[in-house]
Amino acid sequence: MHRTARTASAATALALAFGITACGSSGGEGAAADKKQTLTVWAMGAEGEKLAEVASVYEKANPHITVKVTPVGWDVAHQKLVSAAAAGNLPDVAQMGGSYMSEFAALGVLEPVDTTVFKKDAFFPAAWQQGEIDGEVYGVPWYVDTRVLYYRTDLAKKAGVGKPPATWPELRQLATAYQDKAGTKWGIFIQPSGLDTVQSWYPFLYSAGGEVVTDDGKAVVNSPASVRALAEYGSYFDKGLAKKSVAPGYDVLKDFNTGDAPMFFSGPWIMTLINDGYPDLKDKWGVAKVPADQGSVSMAGGSSLVVSKDSEHKAAAQEFITYLTGAEGQRDWFTRSSDLPANTAAWDSGRLADDPALQVFREQMESSRITPVQPRWSEISSKVDDAIASVTQGKSSPQEAAGKAQSEIEGLVEQAR
């Protein structure tokens, strides 16, 4: 799924093997924006399919521009981008996840964003930060993603709880009440182990004030706050409130529907899946901000749009991106894709302004945090995945697991320049 795309650990080495250098080369400005030309665009996953519709609308308003959209699966996106960069064949415009940005910026293949055209304060802070590398901006935020709490309101009422949990103690109390009073099998689903377990843990880590790596490149996964978050996360498994193992391809919505797993953390696309796939759950569920410890802080994801440094169509690319990331274009994109706008002005009218559930996501985005900008982030996060699993499976204490991860990560981080 495109929301959890990750950077391959050997990417930089692969790129160097292909001969890409960090300096890059500029293709110059090329054709003027008002000249007849073709823009090549790569978009990933579901966005690749939907963007062709938008491109068709754009072409009608701009008949001198042909927009050729190529959908790319997230499972092959990274390798395809690296190979294209090596061959000097990157598209004029590409969708790029936050985990890719630092890597391709370091390779020197991205055109810096004109910050006189695209304004930082037009976007959610975390969305803008995903494209900001070493003081330079390489990506314009396109859509955002964050995690909030989904919970069964009908079962909460049965358990004697009439409001969503706002704090860690309230989250534990509701999970316990679901089991003891509403008869659910589990109190909550949080990922016990495996790839990207760290994403399930982020709401705990960030709300505790913890980090894996600081902005200046220091590993701090063994900090008191991080250990506290590990302990809190692990307690749900120790108490039997969360299942310790799941089969490959596990779909939490099936257990959410039956009530076996009455709470979980996830992103905005889940709302559509519930409404379309489980109509009997209508008026039986809700969303709430991440329960707070030191604060209510979730992870920030999403994608940006980048321009190839070698593009001969930079002016036209900039105008197309302006269209996609302006408030009107963002509202249109939301209706087509359900992706949440990165441009905050898009939230001021229509369903985005009126839907209480969507407003929960907007509020959460204001305090969400991006993952650290680290070229070897996939290796780093896999060490954290292992640490979390050792705690959830009862193999290590939170202190022991964090200490082991700290020693492994210290050799992988890159210090800020």
pLDDT digits (tens, 9 = 90+) for 69-98: 999 998 999 999 999 999 999 999 999 988
End-to-end, the C-alpha distance of the chain in Å comes to 33
Q: Report whether pLDDT(24) > 80.
A: no
Taking residue 380's Cβ as centre, other Cβ atoms within 10 Å add up to 25
User: Residue 13 has what pLDDT?
Assistant: 44
Q: Average pLDDT, stretch 131-152?
A: 95
Report the CATH architecture of 2-146+301-367. 3-Layer(aba) Sandwich (3.40)
Instruction: For the chain, give the number of residues.
Output: 417
Largest CA distance in the chain: 68
- Judged by DSSP in three states, 304 sits in strand
Q: Report whether pLDDT(14) > 50.
A: no
Q: What does the alpha-carbon distance between residue 353 and residue 138 come to, in Å, rounded to a whole number?
A: 29
- What does pLDDT average to over the chain? 92
Q: What does the alpha-carbon distance between residue 19 and residue 30 come to, in Å, rounded to a whole number?
A: 24
Q: Average pLDDT, stretch 391-406?
A: 98
Highest mean pLDDT out of 129-143, 170-184, 359-373: 170-184
User: Residue 97 has what pLDDT?
Assistant: 86
User: Residue 102 has what pLDDT?
Assistant: 82
pLDDT in tens, 357-395: 999 999 999 999 998 878 788 899 999 999 999 999 999
Q: Which residues contact 217 (CB under 8 A, 6 or more apart)?
A: 372, 374, 413, 414, 415, 416
Considering only residues 289 and 414, tell me which one the structure prediction assigns the higher pLDDT. Answer: 289
Task: Give 159-164 contacts, CB < 8 A, sequence gap 24+.
Answer: 164/286, 164/288
Say if CB 149 and CB 256 are below 8 A apart: no
Domain boundaries of the chain, sorted by first residue: 2-146+301-367, 148-298+376-409
The one-character DSSP state at 209 is T
- Judged by DSSP in three states, 45 sits in helix
User: Residue 360 has what pLDDT?
Assistant: 98
The one-character DSSP state at 339 is P
User: Residue 28 has what pLDDT?
Assistant: 52
Q: Report whether pLDDT(143) > 80.
A: yes
User: Residue 417 has what pLDDT?
Assistant: 52
Q: Report whether pLDDT(251) > 80.
A: yes
Question: Which CATH number applies to 148-298+376-409: 3.40.190.10, 2.60.40.1260, 2.60.40.10, 1.10.10.10?
Answer: 3.40.190.10
User: Residue 21 has what pLDDT?
Assistant: 44
User: Residue 99 has what pLDDT?
Assistant: 77
Comparing C-alpha atoms, which of 18, 19, 59, 54 is closest to residue 36? 59
Q: What does the alpha-carbon distance between residue 330 and residue 335 come to, in Å, rounded to a whole number?
A: 9
User: Residue 98 has what pLDDT?
Assistant: 81
User: Residue 29 has what pLDDT?
Assistant: 62
Q: Average pLDDT, stretch 41-53?
A: 94
Q: Report whether pLDDT(23) > 70.
A: no
Q: Average pLDDT, stretch 17-46?
A: 73
User: Residue 416 has what pLDDT?
Assistant: 58
User: Residue 249 has what pLDDT?
Assistant: 92
Per-residue confidence band for 4, with pLDDT thresholds at 50, 70 and 90: very low
**pTM value?**
0.88
Considering only residues 327 and 45, tell me which one the structure prediction assigns the higher pLDDT. Answer: 327
H, E, C per residue of 101-138? HHHHHHCCCECCCCCCCCCHHHECHHHHHCCEECCEEC
- The sign of the dihedral angle between the CA atoms of 81, 82, 83, 86 is positive
Q: Report whether pLDDT(200) > 50.
A: yes
Comparing C-alpha atoms, which of 358, 339, 253 is closest to residue 301? 339
* Fold agreement between 2-146+301-367 and 148-298+376-409: yes
